[in-house]
């Protein structure tokens, strides 16, 4: 891949030192699995910060807040019979083996590391997940 991702990592301030180290290893690809494959797409690490993170999931709605960094709301699109619209057999999904839910953003902003993005009113995806160690 010619162009690599610039990556910024935010770890919840509620994590203790051991948890912060483990999270860094998982998302940095050193623990193997899905993130090891994704690490080949990563180029420059813009920074790793410990911050207060507020995440909520209520039915089809999800939100993420990191003060002075991001404010993000998303809601799954309802399909036939009230079920969420998903993507099946995606070879590079959010979580391997779990179909991502297609969603619409409400507010979706990010401002840090010299970047200032606003993706409000566009599309997005979310997925349930559970990562477990060996």
pLDDT band at 132 (very low <50, low <70, confident <90, very high): low
- The token pair that represents 68 in the structure block: 């002075």
The residue assigned the tokens 């003060």 is 67
If you average pLDDT over residues 21-38, what whole number do you get? 84
pLDDT band at 31 (very low <50, low <70, confident <90, very high): confident
Longest dimension (CA), the chain: 46
The residue assigned the tokens 């507020």 is 54
If you average pLDDT over residues 7-14, what whole number do you get? 94
If you average pLDDT over residues 13-22, what whole number do you get? 93
Q: Read off the pLDDT of residues 51-62 as tens digits, 9 standing for 90 and up.
A: 999 999 999 999
- The domain ranges of the chain are 1-51, 54-129
Identify the CA nearest to 8 among candidates 53, 69, 63, 54.
69
Give the CA dihedral 90, 99, 31, 16, nearest 10 degrees.
150
Hey, how many other C-beta atoms are within 10 angstroms of the C-beta on 101? 23
Which of 18-22, 32-36, 97-101 shows the lowest mean pLDDT across its residues? 32-36
pLDDT at residue 133 is higher than 70: no
Query: Structure pTM?
Result: 0.82
User: What pLDDT shows up at residue 38?
Assistant: 81
């Amino acid at each position: 891949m010619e162009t690599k991702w610039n990556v910024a990592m935010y770890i919840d301030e509620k994590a203790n030192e051991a948890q912060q180290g483990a999270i860094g290893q998982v998302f940095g690809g050193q623990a193997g699995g899905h993130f090891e494959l994704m690490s080949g797409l990563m180029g420059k690490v813009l920074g790793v910060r410990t911050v207060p993170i507020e995440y909520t999931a209520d039915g089809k709605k999800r939100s993420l807040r990191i003060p002075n960094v991001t404010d993000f709301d998303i809601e799954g699109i309802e399909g036939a019979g009230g079920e969420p619209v998903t993507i099946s057999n995606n070879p590079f999904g959010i979580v391997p083996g779990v179909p991502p839910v297609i969603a619409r953003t409400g507010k979706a902003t990010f401002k840090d590391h010299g970047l200032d993005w606003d993706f409000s009113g566009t599309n997005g995806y979310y997925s349930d997940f559970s990562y477990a160690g060996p």
